[in-house]
Structure 1
C-alpha cells in the first residue's frame, strides 16, 4: 500500500512538471490579456490572414512571398479605441512595437511596401497593390475610411507625393502621408546624430509607434533590431484621432504588397498595449529570417574538389567550346559610357530565356518599329513585355539611351513603366511591365476590324480619362516635359482592371519646362499626325493633344481615323462633323452600345475630340483643360459645327506666324471643310 501511494505521488509530480513546462513554453511565444499582448514569433498564434500571408513552421509571419501578391494579417479580436466613457470622447492612448524585415531579390529596388494599420473592418478585399493593400483610387483620401497607418514605403510614387523610395510615413485615411521622413534613427539623447537605414537591406529592424490620447501626439521611432528605443522620435505629428477612430471596435494588423519586383515582407515579433507602453520584445526568442543568397558551400565539396580536378582538366576542351558558343549566342553591344546606366540594363541572356528564345507563341504584336514579346524574368518571375527595335546607326544612341533611362523613372498609374533596355548587335530591346489585357486596339476592333469588343460606355469613358490623366502627367506634372509622339489605340494598354495606361515610349522626347522642343524629324503614325507636325516636323504637347482628339473620336465611334465609303476616303473628323451639321451627332456613337450609354458624356467626348484635333494649334485645349472638361470641373466652350470650318487663306495666315483671330471662325467664311486640312494626316 505504501508503495502504491509513493508511485501515485511520483506520477502527480511528473504531471505537474509537464503542465508547468508547457505554460513556460507557451509564455515564450505569446502573452495576451485584454488590451495588451506580445508575440515572440507566431507559431500557434491565432491570427486572421488573407491574400498570400502565411505563418511559416518556424513562426515567421510572411505577408508576401516570392510571387507578385498582397497579404494582410489581423489581430483577430477587435479593440475599443474610442469609448463614450472617455472625457470629451478622446481616443485612448496606445502603443505598438514590431520587428520586421523586407527581403528583395534585388539589392537596390523593391515594391511596394508594408504598413501597420488600425481599421474599422477586416474586409480589405477591394484594395490595390500600389495602395499597399489598404485603399484604392476610389476611396483614397476619404475621411469615411477611418484608418490610421504607419507605412514603410520602398517605392517613390509621385501620385502620393512620396519624398523618396525609402521612407517612413504617418497616414490618415490616405496613402499621402501626413508626415514622412527618410528611413533612419537618432542615436543617443535628443541631440543625437541621424543614422540612415535601408528598408530593403534584408536586416531586421524594430518600430515603436505611440499615440498619447491627452496631447494627441503621434510619435514613430525606428532602429536596427537589438538597439535601444531612440529617445528622439523619427516622426512626430499632432493629430486628434477622435475623428478617425470613431468606431466602437477597430482592428489592428499589417498589410504589404509587392509589384513587378519579388519581395518578402516579414514580421518576426509584435507587441501592443492600450493605455500604456507596449510590452518589450525579447529578440532572443524571435524566429530566424530566411537566408539571402546561395547556401554556403558543402564541406563534402571542399574535400572532393581536388579529386575532381583531374576530370575537370579532361573536360576543359568541351567547356571552352560551349562557352564560345554561348558567348556568340548571347553577345551584346556594350560601351564604356553605358556604365552610368547599369541598373537599367538587362542582360540579353535573361531576356532570351524570359521570352523562350523569342518564340512565336510569345509574340504579343508586331508594329512599324518592331515586335513585342511576352516574357517572365528568370529570377523575379515578374511578367514583362519585351520590344525588339532594329537600329543600324550608332549616331545619337547614347542620347537615346539616356532618355530611355530618364523616361524609365516615370511613375503614374496610367503610365506603363519602362523598366530598362538591352542592346545586341543591330537591335535595341525595351523592357516594360506586362499588361494582361493587351492593347485598346485589340478590344476596340475585332480581327475583322468591324465589330468593337469593348463593353460598356462607362468602361470606355474611364479609359479615356485614364489616358488624359497620363498625358497631363507627361506634359505638366513630371520634372520634364515628355512628348509621347505616338498616341494611338495600339499604344494604350489595359491592365488587369481594364484601366487605360499609356505605353511604348520608344519615340518619346523630353525637354525642360519653359523651353521649346528641338525635334525636327517627323515620326508617328499616319492618321494621328497634327498638320503643323507634317509641315514643320516639330513635335510638342499640342501634337499629342491632336492625336488624343483622334483617339477620343475613335473610342466613341469605334471607327478608324480614315473611313472608306463607296470608293471614297474620308477622315473620321469629317464624318463626325458632317453628322453634327445635320443634327445627327448622336448617330456617330458606336451602334454596338445599343443606345445604352450616357448621351451627355458621349456628346462631350465627340465635341472634345473635334476640339482637340483642331488644325489650328491655338484652338486646341491643353491636357489640363481636357481633364477639367472630362471630370466636369469646367464646362466645355459653347461650340457649333461652324466653329470647325475656315478658309485656306486663314490656315495660310497661321502658317506665316499669325494667331487665328475669331473672325476665322465666323460662319460667313464657311468655304472649306475640316477634311481639307485633316487629310494631311493621312490614313493609318
Structure 2
C-alpha cells in the first residue's frame, strides 16, 4: 500500500493525473498531462518534461502518432457475429494547441483517431496527416478521424484552411464546418482560429443507440457549448472492428509548427471524465527574438519569391484566359441568365475527362458534371456548330425551350459557345435512358407497372408541349433513347435539339426532314412539315417499343427488315396481339392495360394523320376515361404504304441509315438543324 501511494504522489508531482484502463472492458481513462502516461508513440511524437504531448516539432515532412496502448472493445457483440454487432457509445475530450512561429500561418493540422492498429508506417506525412497513403483510404481501413485542419487541400475538397471535419476511411470529410462554436441561443456563431497558439478543447461524442456523432469545439476554460459544431447521423457498426485503438495523428510539412495535446480523457458507454485545467501543463512561449531572427532570414528570400510569383501569375492569367476563351456576341446579352461560363462547365466535368463520359455518337459527346457552388448535377452535351449561319435563331430557340417546366421533361438549363462548339446543359438523370432497360439483355429490366408509369409520364409531357404551354412545341425526336429516368424512375422526355416552336392557332412551317428512322410519319417525308400529329406518330411507335421490348425496325431471319408497327398489326389482325409483349415480363402484366397500350400504339401510328388521336385523347385513353376505339378497316401497313408512295419515299427508306440512327434531312440541311442531331 505505501508503494502504491508513493507512485500516485509521484505522478501528481510530475503534473499528470492518470485513471488507467486496466482492461479493454473498462474503457475509461483521463490524462491531466502525460508525464506519467503509458502511451504508444512513434515518429515525431514525444512527451516533454512538463508533461506536454508534442505530436510534431520543426522537422519537415514527417509524421507523429500517440495512442493509448490498450485496445478497447468498441463493438457490443453479445453472442452476435461481427457483421451484426452494434457499435458502443463513447465519449472523448482533449485540449490541444497549434503553435507556429508565424502569426496566422501554420502547417497541416492534427486528428483524433479511432483505428484497428497503431502501425501507420505506410501513411504519408504532409496533407495526409500521417493517416493514409496516396490512395486516400478504403472501406477496409476501418478508420474514424476528427480532423482539425489548418491547410486547404483541394484534392480532399476542403472547405477552407481552418475547419473541423468528420472523416471515415478517407481524408475527404463526410461533413465539415469552419472552426468555431455556437452560443447558448444556438444561432450566434463565434469563429476560432485553430492555429492561434491558444489552447482549445474538443469533445467527440457518439450515441450508439441514436447512431449520432457530435463534435464540439470551444476555447479552453470555457464550458462545453450546448450545441455541437458538427452533428452527423452515422452507424459506426460497419466502420469499427471489435477492438480499436484511440489516439492522435499529425504531420509536418514546410512551415515550422508544433502540434500539442495538453490533456485527454476517454470513456466507453458514458461521458468522458472532465479535465482539470489547473493540472494541465503550460504551453511553451514563442520568443519574439527567435521570430525576428527567422524573419530576417526569410524576408530577402520572400522578396525574390514574390517577384517570381507575380511573373508566374501573369503567365498563368494569360494561359488561363486562352484556355477558357468563349465566343460571345452582343446579341447574346439578352440570354444572359441562360449562358454558362465555359470555365464552370470545364470544372464541373473535371476538364471533360473520359471518366465523366455518359455517351457518344454522331451528335457529339455527353459528360456528367457537378456545378461548383450549387453542387447541381448536370449533363453537358458538346456539339459542333458553324457560327456564321443560323446560330442566333438556334440559340433563341434553345433559350425559349429552357423556359419549359414540367415534371416529365428533362430540364434544359442553358448553353455555352466556345470556338467551334456548342455546349448544351441539361439536368442529370441518375438512371440514364430508357432504351438500356429495354434492349440490354444482360442488364436490369422494368416490370409492367414501371413501364406503364413511364408511358403515362411521357404522354403527360407531350400534352404540355402541344397544348398547355404558351407556344406549340414539336419535339420531332420522340423515342426510348430520348426518355431519361430520374432517381425515382420517372420518365422524362429530353433532347430538344430538334424541337421547333410556333404560336397556337397558326400552321407549322415546312422544314427539313429530321428525326430517327422508324419513328418518321409518312406525311413528314412528303411535306417536310412537322406537326403535333407527326409527334403522335413517333409516340405511337414508342408505345409499341416499350410494350414489346423491340426496336422500330429490326433485321429478320433472312436479313430482311421487320417493321415493329406491321408486326404488331399482323398479330392484332390474327387475334394474338398479347404474343407481342416483351418476353422478359414473363407473363407478369395487366392484360387489359397491355392490350390498351398496344391498340393505342397502332392507332397513333395510323398512316392518315387525321385518324391519329390528339395527345389530350391519348391521356384520356391511358387514364381509362374513354375506351380506345377499334382500328378502322382502312388501316394500311407501314410497308404497304411505302410501296405505294410515288414521291420517292421508297428510295428514301432504302438509303436511310441503320435503325435507331438519327438523320438530319433527306436533302441538304441548314446548319441550324445540324447543330444538334438527336441520339
Q: Conserved in 1, the CA contact under 8 Å of 2:457 and 2:490?
A: yes
Normalising by structure 2, we get a TM-score of 0.50
Matched, 1:635 2:615: no
The 2-side partners of 1:482 and 1:408 are apart by: 12
CA distance 1:621–1:654, shift in 2 (3 Å) = farther
Partner of residue 366, structure 2:
372
Structure number with larger C-alpha Rg: 2
Matched, 1:484 2:478: no
CA distance 1:554–1:452, shift in 2 (3 Å) = farther
Stretches of structure 2 lacking an aligned partner (at least 5 in a row): 1-174, 189-298, 661-679
CA distance 1:366–1:645, shift in 2 (3 Å) = closer
Runs of 4+ in 1 over 6 A off after TM superposition: 307-310, 646-655, 674-682
The 2-side partners of 1:534 and 1:483 are apart by: 16
Partner of residue 472, structure 1:
463
1:642-667 per-residue CA deviation (whole Å, 9 max, x = no partner) reads 63459979998999xxxxxxxxxxxx
Q: Conserved in 2, the CA contact under 8 Å of 1:346 and 1:420?
A: yes
Partner of residue 607, structure 1:
599
The 2-side partners of 1:319 and 1:571 are apart by: 62
The 2-side partners of 1:350 and 1:550 are apart by: 39
Residue 619 of structure 2 aligns to a residue whose secondary structure is helix
Equivalent position to 1:517, from 508, 531, 534: 508
Give the CA deviation at 1:505: 1.0
Higher helix share goes to which structure? 1
The 2-side partners of 1:633 and 1:391 are apart by: 46
Normalising by structure 1, we get a TM-score of 0.50
Give the CA deviation at 1:475: 0.6
The 2-side partners of 1:594 and 1:640 are apart by: 31
Aligned Cα root-mean-square deviation (Å): 3.4
CA distance 1:543–1:640, shift in 2 (3 Å) = closer
Number of positions where the alignment pairs a residue of Structure 1 with one of Structure 2: 369
Partner of residue 551, structure 2:
560
1:507-530 per-residue CA deviation (whole Å, 9 max, x = no partner) reads 111111111222411111111111
The 2-side partners of 1:465 and 1:534 are apart by: 28
CA distance 1:313–1:491, shift in 2 (3 Å) = same
Partner of residue 230, structure 1:
none
Partner of residue 316, structure 1:
310
CA distance 1:314–1:678, shift in 2 (3 Å) = closer
Residue 475 of structure 1 aligns to a residue whose secondary structure is helix
Stretches of structure 1 lacking an aligned partner (at least 5 in a row): 1-51, 63-304, 656-673
Give the CA deviation at 1:468: 0.3
The 2-side partners of 1:455 and 1:649 are apart by: 34
Give the CA deviation at 1:315: 3.5
1:412-449 per-residue CA deviation (whole Å, 9 max, x = no partner) reads 10011111110001111111111111110111111xxx
Matched, 1:505 2:480: no
Partner of residue 396, structure 1:
390
Q: Conserved in 1, the CA contact under 8 Å of 2:604 and 2:613?
A: yes
Q: Conserved in 1, the CA contact under 8 Å of 2:566 and 2:639?
A: no
1:133-157 per-residue CA deviation (whole Å, 9 max, x = no partner) reads xxxxxxxxxxxxxxxxxxxxxxxxx
Q: Conserved in 1, the CA contact under 8 Å of 2:540 and 2:603?
A: yes
Give the CA deviation at 1:678: 9.0
The 5 Å alignment of 1:93-112 reads none
Residue 516 of structure 2 aligns to a residue whose secondary structure is coil
Give the CA deviation at 1:536: 2.1
CA distance 1:533–1:649, shift in 2 (3 Å) = closer
Give the CA deviation at 1:676: 12
The 1-side partners of 2:582 and 2:500 are apart by: 34
Partner of residue 620, structure 1:
612
Residue 521 of structure 1 aligns to a residue whose secondary structure is coil
Residue 373 of structure 1 aligns to a residue whose secondary structure is strand
The 5 Å alignment of 1:316-465 reads 316-446=310-440, 450=441, 453-465=444-456
CA distance 1:467–1:589, shift in 2 (3 Å) = same
Equivalent position to 1:544, from 519, 535, 538: 535
Q: Conserved in 2, the CA contact under 8 Å of 1:531 and 1:615?
A: yes
Q: Conserved in 2, the CA contact under 8 Å of 1:574 and 1:675?
A: no
Q: Conserved in 1, the CA contact under 8 Å of 2:356 and 2:368?
A: yes
Partner of residue 595, structure 1:
587
The 5 Å alignment of 1:9-48 reads none
1:76-125 per-residue CA deviation (whole Å, 9 max, x = no partner) reads xxxxxxxxxxxxxxxxxxxxxxxxxxxxxxxxxxxxxxxxxxxxxxxxxx
